[in-house]
Amino acid sequence: MDFSSVQMPSGTFTIGKAFDFEGGHRLPSLPPEHKCSHQHGHSYEVEVILTASGLEEPGFVTDFGALTPFKEFLDTELDHHNLHEILPFEPTSELLAQFLSGWFIQNLQPAIPGRLVAVRVRETGRSWARFDVERQ
């Protein structure tokens, strides 16, 4: 087969990379009978989703290795911490996704070619929240 005859359609490229960390939290504004008002923990999975209309050599939206500072932030600042004690908001998955989006945009996005589209925070295998970044 002659692969040179395959036409490359126009469009955008999207990548995602998942990271994980362990964290505890409680949501003190919930009623005492709600299970999440009590201290508990999660094996969080955080996925960043980036997009670009063009690719950097050799064909990347962003080199996955360039995302290492985000993993380092999760490891040093959030891993094995009580999130309600260190974050300035109640650590729901929704607010955590928004916060991590803000950190990514402020600290990492200026140094990489891709644009952050969303951050997804998964508390369990069946429960997640996603924050979609408005196009800047």
**What is the set of active-site residues?**
36, 80, 123
Residue among 132, 60, 49 nearest 94 (CA): 132
Tokens of 126: 């069946």
Collapsed DSSP state (helix, strand, coil) of residue 115: strand
* Contact between residue 46 and residue 20 where contact means Cβ atoms under 8 Å apart: yes
**How far, in Å, CA of 23 to CA of 21, rounded?**
7
Single-letter residue type at 86 = I
Rg (CA), the chain: 18
Containing 15, the helix (H) or strand (E) segment is: strand 13-25
